[in-house]
A = this chain, B = another copy of it.
Amino acid sequence: MAKLREECGVVGVLGDPEAANLIYLGLYALQHRGQEACGIVCFDNDEKQERAILHGHKAFGLVGDAINREILEKLQGDIGIGHVRYSTSGGRLLQNIQPFSFRSPRYGHISIAHNGNLTNAKIIREELEAGGAIFSTTSDTEVFMHLLARSRRPELKDRIVEVMGIVRGAYSLVIAAKDVLFAVRDPFGYRPLVIGKKGNATIVASETCALDLLDASDYSEVQPGEIIEITRTGRNSSFPFAATKKEFCSFEPIYFARPDSYLFEDSIYDLRKKMGEELASESQVEADHVIAIPDSGMPMAIGYSNKSKIPIELGLIRNHYVGRTFIEPSQEIRDFGVKLKLNPVSEKIRGKKIILVDDSIVRGTTSVKIVRMLRKAGAKEIHFRVGSPPITHSCYYGVDTPARKDLLAAQKTVKEIKELIGVDSLAYLSLEGLKRALGKDSYCFACFNGKYQEEIFKDVPFQPTDVNGPGLSSLEN
């Protein structure tokens, strides 16, 4: 794992007879948010819209491999949701692939897909199991299902509000039933969620690049704390909780989101270029070229080059055909894993002073190998520039960070890291520089400064008094 990893992407569609197709394409565009597995469910209403059959497909693998035409043709219906995931410690289990679904006597089937991470899932789960609930996955997200199923509120939307009062953490959700689609975002707004139109249909997705692929229009963000109820006749927005500080994940603009996506009306590509420009302002150095570590370092390298007036070169070429597996020879090939993916263009390295730009350093092991490879290719000086601050803390909001002992910057000073990586100079973008580049005050920087929202560090108890209705009362028994 050379990079931090986003855990999920979600898509929801209501009002298009080819909902499954649109979800499929939306997931295709969100593939960078999760490559382990994908799933789609659709609600196929009968003519009178009294009953819906729930069609579903889940599989491991990339969207384009796991889903084919024959499958899509079976996923009839004009409402549906989809999910791409990257597996965390919960493990690579078929039953953990979302969307999750259950049948409620009142509403029929209800399906849910989740991007984020709950901080009190474990304790809620234990309480529910003690009351006789049977869990069939190891995923946080199943807690939502059980709480929705147990609620006594007659309206599905009120059940969602009730559940939002119980769970803590990061969640951007799409929830579908036979005649409704909900887009839900936690009050801090950790993970992105956008909404748009395509003809008569409404599309919800994690990023705008999915709306782009679908030729959607009228984009807007689902706001932190917002519940949007989408039916065939329109949309209804509500904010059942008091407004709070926004805590949008700053790693979305740094690395996770696709550069062609927009967040808060900002172009991700431009934000990255600005990070590169700030980096150049903060830690200028003389050199022959700027070289990006492809592909994620490229926008920052362009920003760095623009600001510093040092020309950019493609000094590292990425192998586009790195397959699922590779087998190393037993005889050593130095830095083999990196060489499979990247090869230097000697012409641009030998005897040159180079500025090497990357978006972030997590464990540093890949950086060490790349630098060693460039040294072997004859680089005269290597100045490593990182477009984000040192990552010193774990994320509890849906990003798979390594344990602190494996987080390089949590263990070593910048000077020590410079020595370890073996470069002539090393500079990270400062937190202030990052804030200047982002230009807004609504971000979470906890992985850089450890300032988490309070409830993370309390062992958040499951408090039935939070629950007003009878739904969860049986848990008290």
The answer, yes or no, to whether A368 is at the interface (CB within 8 Å) is no
Residue of B nearest to A25 (CB): B329
B320–A32 touching, CB < 8 Å: yes
The answer, yes or no, to whether A466 is at the interface (CB within 8 Å) is no
Residue of B nearest to A33 (CB): B321
B327–A72 touching, CB < 8 Å: yes
The answer, yes or no, to whether A312 is at the interface (CB within 8 Å) is yes
**Using Cβ atoms and an 8 Å threshold, which residues of chain B touch A474?**
131-132, 473-474, 477
Instruction: Given the known inter-chain contacts A21-B329, A29-B319, A213-B340, please indicate yes or no for A104 contacting B129, CB distance below 8 A.
Output: yes
A105 to B135, CA, bound (A): 11
Instruction: Given the known inter-chain contacts A317-B260, A345-B260, please indicate yes or no for A132 contacting B150, CB distance below 8 A.
Output: yes
Residue of B nearest to A376 (CB): B215
Q: Which of A29, A328, A347, A473 is the most central at the interface, judged by chain B CB atoms within 10 Å of its CB?
A: A347
The answer, yes or no, to whether A136 is at the interface (CB within 8 Å) is yes
A343–B212 touching, CB < 8 Å: yes
The answer, yes or no, to whether A69 is at the interface (CB within 8 Å) is yes
B333–A314 touching, CB < 8 Å: no
Interface, chain A (partner B; CB < 8 A)? 16, 18, 21-22, 24-25, 28-29, 31-32, 35, 62-65, 67-69, 72, 94-95, 102-105, 126, 129-136, 145-146, 149-152, 209, 212-215, 258-260, 262, 267, 269-270, 295, 298-299, 302, 306, 311-314, 317, 319-331, 333-334, 339-340, 343-348, 470-471, 473-474, 477
Kindly provide the distance from the CB of A372 to the nearest chain B CB, expressed in whole angstroms: 12
* A302 partner, pick from B135, B314, B334, B340, beta carbons under 8 A: B314
Kindly provide the distance from the CB of A199 to the nearest chain B CB, expressed in whole angstroms: 8
B213–A343 touching, CB < 8 Å: yes
Q: Please name the 10 residue pairs, one residue from A and one from B, whose CB atoms are nearest each other, closest first.
A: A64-B323, A31-B321, A132-B150, A474-B474, A267-B347, A21-B329, A260-B317, A102-B134, A260-B343, A132-B149
A16 to B102, CA, bound (A): 38
**Using Cβ atoms and an 8 Å threshold, which residues of chain B touch A471?**
132
A134–B134 touching, CB < 8 Å: yes
A340 to B21, CA, bound (A): 13
* A299 partner, pick from B18, B31, B314, B322, beta carbons under 8 A: B314
A327–B129 touching, CB < 8 Å: no
Residue of B nearest to A209 (CB): B343
Residue of B nearest to A299 (CB): B314
* A135 partner, pick from B22, B72, B102, B333, beta carbons under 8 A: B102
A321–B104 touching, CB < 8 Å: no
A267–B327 touching, CB < 8 Å: no
A69–B212 touching, CB < 8 Å: no
A18–B329 touching, CB < 8 Å: yes
**Using Cβ atoms and an 8 Å threshold, which residues of chain B touch A345?**
259-260, 267, 269-270
Q: Which of A68, A136, A328 is the most central at the interface, judged by chain B CB atoms within 10 Å of its CB?
A: A136
Kindly provide the distance from the CB of A432 to the nearest chain B CB, expressed in whole angstroms: 24
B18–A340 touching, CB < 8 Å: no
Q: Which of A146, A319, A340 is the most central at the interface, judged by chain B CB atoms within 10 Å of its CB?
A: A319
B126–A146 touching, CB < 8 Å: no
Kindly provide the distance from the CB of A114 to the nearest chain B CB, expressed in whole angstroms: 16
A311 to B31, CA, bound (A): 30
* A327 partner, pick from B21, B104, B150, beta carbons under 8 A: B21
Residue of B nearest to A272 (CB): B314
Kindly provide the distance from the CB of A222 to the nearest chain B CB, expressed in whole angstroms: 20
